[in-house]
Amino acid sequence: MFAVEEFTGEVVVYSSWFYDNVWLIPALPAASFLIILLFGKRLPYKGAEVGITAVLAAFGLALLTTFTWIADIETDGGAESHSEEAMAASGPELAVEAEDGKEGLKFSRGAPVINEVEWFGIGTDANRVTLGAEEGAAAADGDADDHGEGFGGGFSIPIGTLVDGQSVMLLFVVTFISSLVHIYSTDYVHGDRRFTHYYAFLSLFTASMLFMVLSSSTIQLIVGWELVGVCSFALIGHWWEEKPNSDAALKAFLTNRVGDIGLLVGMTILYFAAGRTFSIPEINEAAVAGDIGQGTLLISSLCLMAAVMSKSGQFILHTWLPDAMAGPTPVSALIHAATMVVAGVYLIGRLYPVFYEGFGIAGGSINAMAFIGGLTTVGGGLLAFVQRDIKKVLAYSTVSQLGYMVLALGVGAYTAGMFHLFTHAFFKACLFLGAGSVSHACHHSFDMKADMGGLRTYMPKTFWTFIIGTAALAGIPPLAGFWSKDEILVGTGAFPGTDGNGTFTIPFIFGLITAALTAAYMTRCVWLTFFGEYRGHAHPHESGPRITVPLIILAVMAVWVGFLNMPTAFVESVGLGSGWAHKFEDWVEPEGVATFVGGANGFTHAKPSLLLAIVATGLGLAAGLIVWRYYTALYAKDPKATEYSDGLASRNSLAAAGHRVLEQKYYLDHLYTDVVAGGTKGPLARAAYWFNQNVLDGVVNAAGYVSTLVGRFVYRYIDQGVVDRAVNVSGQSASESGRFLRRIQTGQVREYASLMFGAAAVLAAVFIFAF
Amino acid sequence: MFLNQFLLLAAALFCIGVYGVLARRNGVLVLMSIELILNSVNINLVAFGAYHGDVSGQVFALFIIGVAAAEVGVGLAIVLLIYRNRRSIDVAEANLLKG
C-alpha cells in the first residue's frame, strides 16, 4: 500500500485475526450506545453495566491487538535501525539482510494493515464501462490509476480500518482510559437524573473516537471527527439546566465548527491534489513522492492546522477547552486524556507527510506548526497560574501540553510528540479523576482557594496519586512525563549536541519555559488543594474504591510508561541491554512515514543530552520550589484566607497588569464575543433590516398585488365557469341516478335474489353464446 | 357413462330451488330451497368428477356439504330470531334492508 519506487526495503504486511476484526473495537461501544439508549432505563444498574461490559471487552480486544502488533514487530522488524551502529550491533540476521545489497535498507516495521469495504459509490461501475477508450487505457496504466478518471468518472468512498503503530497505540489508550472512566463514573455520577443518558453518550464518545482512530480514509476521519464533536457537546452540556453549562457546550461546538471548515477544505484540496483519493496512505504517499505541489500542500496543511487548533485547543482557538470543564469531571478526564483533544494531534500524525512537506519541516528553524505549538504551550501554562478552579488549572495544563505535542510534531520529532500524547493521557487522566475525587469530598466545589486546602490528611489515596500525576506532568525523573518532555526538547535540535531535524531555537525556548511553568503551576495547585489548612465548610473524606482504584491504576501507569522509550545511551549506561531502548519508537513509528519523510534513514532522531535533561529538570524543580515558598509564606500569615490581599499582584503594578491580562484570558473571549461577534452583528443587522424593508418587502408587495389580480381572474372565469359547473353537474347526475335506483331498493330479500339470479342468467347466456 | 341425465337432474333441482327461494314466503322453506340449489351443484361436481376420472370434484362436494351445514345453522338462527321478534317467519315482512 505504502510503497513507491524509491523504497528499497521490504514491506511486510502483517496479518492476524485481530487486524482483520479490529472493527469490533469501535463496534462494541457503538452497540452498547444503542442498547443503553433503548433498554438502559429498565436495566438494574440503569445501563452502566452495558457500557462497562462493552468498553472492557473493547479494551480486551485492543490489548490483544496491541500485543499481536508488538509481537509481529519484535519477531521480524524490531531490530529496525535508525543508525549505522545499531544495525551493525544487532546481530547476524541484520547483516544477512544488508548483504542482499538493498541500498538504504530499512527493515520493515509493519506497513499499515488496511481492510476496506465500499461504503457507497457514485457511478463507479457504470462509468468504468462507459469510459472512453483513452481514459480506459490511462486508468489501466498502473500507478496512474487514479489520475485516469476524468470528471465524469465516478468515485467510491470506502470505509475500513487502518491498523498501524499509531492507531494501535491510540486504541490502547482510548479503551484503557475509557474503561477506567466508565468504572469511576458509576460512583461519581451516581444518582444523577440523566445517569442512563450519560452512559449512553460515554459509550458513543468512545466509539466515535475509536472509529476516527481506525479510519483509513479522510472521509471516515471527518465523520469520526464530527461524531466526537457532537458527543463532547452532549457531555459538556450534561447539566444543561444551568445556563453556563449549556453555553460552554455551545461554545465548544461552535469553536470546533470554525476549525471543521478548515478540515473540510483541507481534505477536499488533498482529495483532488492526490489524484482523487480519500485513502490516507495514498495521500501520504503522494505528498512524499512530490506529486503534490509545495503550495498546495502548504495551503491544505494550513487548513488542516485550523482544524487541529480548534480540536486540540491550540492558541487562539483554545477558548472552548477550559469552559468545557462545565461537564462532569470523568468526561473532562476522557476529553482531555484520550478522546476529544488528542484527535487533532492524531490528525497531524495521520497525515504527517502532508504537514511535513507542506510546512517544510525538514531542516528548518521555525514553521507555523512549531510556532503555534510553542505559543500555546507557554500561553496555556501562564493561564493556569491565575485559576481558582482546580479543573481549570488542569484544563489550561492540557492546553499547554497539547501545545507541547504540536510543537514536537512541528519540529519533526514525530515519535516524541506521539510519545508525549501517550504518557500525557495517563497522568492527565489521573489528575482529572483526582480532581473529581477531591470535589466529591468537598461538596462538589472546584474552588481551590475557598473550599480546599490541607486535604492530604483527609484523603491520602487521592493525595498520593495526585502527587504522582503532578510529578509526572512536571517532568520529574523517572516518571513518564520526564521521558517524553525530554525527548521533545531534544527533538528541537536547538540544544548543542542534540542534532535534531533542524535548529528550532524559538520552539526550544518555549519548551524550556513551559518545563518551568508546568512545575510551578502544578505546585501551586497541589499546595492550594492538599497543603495548608482546610478552608472549606464540608467534612472531607476519602472517596470509595470505585474512584480510588482507577486513580491508583493510572498513577501506576504514570510511573512506568516512560520507560517504554528510553534513549539507547541511557539504557546502556545503566546496564540494561540495548533491547530495552526506544521500544515505543519501534512499535509506533510508522514504516511509511519513517521511510519517506527523512529520506532513506527514516526520521532524524535527535541524540539525547544528559545536560539538557539536568537543565530542564533543574528549571522545573527550581520553579516549583519558588512557588512552594511563596505560598507557604503567603498562608503563614492567615491560614484560613480565601482571598489574599497582599499577594504579588497587589504590591507590584506590573504584576497586577500581567495578572489582569491573564485573568481576562488574554482578552480573547472579549475579542470573539464583543469585537468579532458584536462588531459584525450590528452592521449586519442594520444591513439585513434595510434589505428587508426595501428589497424583500418590495418583492413581497409586488407579488401580493399580482397574485390578487390573478386570483380575481381565476375566481371569475375558471372557478365559477369551469370548476363550479363541473361540480354541480356531477351532483345533479348523482341525485338523478339515485332517484331512479331507489325504486329497486325495496328491502325484500327475495327481490334482490331474483335480480341476482336474473343477472346470473344473463351472464350465463353471455358465456354460453359468446364463447 | 352418460353425463346428460345427471346434468338434467341437477338443472331441475336448481330450478326448483330458485323457484323456492323466490316464491316461498316461509323462511324455513327458503332455506330448504337454498339447500336444493347447493345440492344440485354437488351433483354437477360429482358427475363431472366421475366423468373426468378425477377425485377432486368429490372433494369439493364434501366441502360444499360442510359449508351448507354451517350456512343452514346461521340461517336457522336468523329465522329463529326473526320469529322471536315478530312472531312470524314470513320473509316478505322482513324488509329492514330497505335503505
Q: What percent of chain A has pLDDT over 70?
A: 83
Instruction: Pick A750's closest partner by Cβ from B91, B98, B99.
Output: B91
Least confident of A174-178, A247-251, B79-83: A247-251
- Tell if the CB–CB gap between B21 and A747 is shorter than 8 Å: no
Q: How far is CA A622 from the centre of its chain?
A: 35
- Tell if the CB–CB gap between B98 and A746 is shorter than 8 Å: yes
* DSSP assignments along A4-21, one per residue: -TT--S-------HHHHT
In chain B, residues with a C-beta closer than 8 Å to the C-beta of A746 are 95, 98
Instruction: Pick A753's closest partner by Cβ from B21, B94, B99.
Output: B21
Question: Who has greater pLDDT, A104 or A748?
Answer: A748
pLDDT > 60? residue A547: yes
Average pLDDT over residues A558-580: 77
Beta bridge partners of A114: A162
- Tell if the CB–CB gap between B95 and A746 is shorter than 8 Å: yes
Residue A745 cell numbers, joined: 331498493
In chain A, residues with a C-beta closer than 8 Å to the C-beta of B91 are 748-750
pLDDT > 60? residue A95: no
**Residues A336/A384, Cβ–Cβ less than 8 Å:** no
* Confidence at residue A131, expressed as pLDDT on a 0 to 100 scale: 39
* Confidence at residue B39, expressed as pLDDT on a 0 to 100 scale: 94
Measuring CA to CA, which residue among A62, A282, A262, A12 is closest to residue A177? A62
Instruction: Pick B91's closest partner by Cβ from A742, A745, A749.
Output: A749
**Residues A189/A138, Cβ–Cβ less than 8 Å:** no
In chain A, the residue whose alpha carbon lies closest to the alpha carbon of B23 is A750
Q: What percent of chain B has pLDDT over 70?
A: 98
**pTM metric for this prediction:** 0.70
> Which of A141-155, A214-228, A583-597 holds the top average pLDDT?
A214-228
Query: pLDDT digits over A247-263, tens only?
Result: 888 888 888 888 888 88
All residues at 6 or more sequence positions from A419 whose CB lies less than 8 Å from its CB, including other chains: A483, A484, A487, A564, A565, A584, A585, A588
Beta bridge partners of A157: A120
Polymer length in residues for chain B: 99
Least confident of A120-129, A391-400, A501-510: A120-129
Query: pLDDT digits over A411-440, tens only?
Result: 878 888 888 888 988 888 888 888 888 888
pLDDT > 80? residue A645: no
In chain B, the residue whose alpha carbon lies closest to the alpha carbon of A750 is B22
The alpha-carbon gap from B50 to the nearest alpha carbon of chain A, in Å, equals 23
Question: Who has greater pLDDT, A122 or A147?
Answer: A122
- Tell if the CB–CB gap between B21 and A748 is shorter than 8 Å: no
**What is the ipTM, given to two decimal places?**
0.82
How many contacts, defined by CB atoms under 8 Å, are there between A and B?
29
The alpha-carbon gap from B54 to the nearest alpha carbon of chain A, in Å, equals 24
The alpha-carbon gap from A762 to the nearest alpha carbon of chain B, in Å, equals 15
DSSP state of A714: I
Average pLDDT over residues B70-98: 87
pLDDT > 80? residue A607: no
Residue B13: pLDDT band by 50, 70, 90 thresholds?
A: very high
* Confidence at residue A13, expressed as pLDDT on a 0 to 100 scale: 65
* Confidence at residue B47, expressed as pLDDT on a 0 to 100 scale: 92
In chain B, residues with a C-beta closer than 8 Å to the C-beta of A757 are 18, 22
pLDDT > 70? residue A379: yes
What residues does each domain of chain A span? 668-770
Listed in order, strand segments (DSSP E) in A61-142 are: 113-122
Instruction: Pick A747's closest partner by Cβ from B18, B30, B95.
Output: B95
All residues at 6 or more sequence positions from A232 whose CB lies less than 8 Å from its CB, including other chains: A205, A252, A253, A256, A324, A335, A339, A340
Query: pLDDT digits over A458-477, tens only?
Result: 888 888 888 899 988 888 88
In chain A, the residue whose alpha carbon lies closest to the alpha carbon of B26 is A750
Average pLDDT over residues A94-119: 50
Q: Given CA atoms A682, A683, A684, A689 in this order, what sign does their dihedral have?
A: positive
pLDDT > 50? residue B83: yes
Alpha helices in A214-319 (DSSP H): 218-236, 243-273, 280-289, 294-311
Residue A649: pLDDT band by 50, 70, 90 thresholds?
A: low
In chain A, the residue whose alpha carbon lies closest to the alpha carbon of B92 is A748
Average pLDDT over residues A596-611: 62
In the numeric block, the cell 496512505 is attached to A281
- Tell if the CB–CB gap between B22 and A742 is shorter than 8 Å: no
Residue B15: pLDDT band by 50, 70, 90 thresholds?
A: very high
* Confidence at residue A603, expressed as pLDDT on a 0 to 100 scale: 61
In chain A, the residue whose alpha carbon lies closest to the alpha carbon of B22 is A750
In chain A, residues with a C-beta closer than 8 Å to the C-beta of B75 are none
- Tell if the CB–CB gap between B95 and A757 is shorter than 8 Å: no
From residue A413, how far is each of A419, A487, A585, A597, A607 by CA, in Å?
10, 8, 11, 11, 12
* Confidence at residue A106, expressed as pLDDT on a 0 to 100 scale: 38
- Tell if the CB–CB gap between A749 and B97 is shorter than 8 Å: yes
* Confidence at residue A154, expressed as pLDDT on a 0 to 100 scale: 61
* Confidence at residue A81, expressed as pLDDT on a 0 to 100 scale: 38
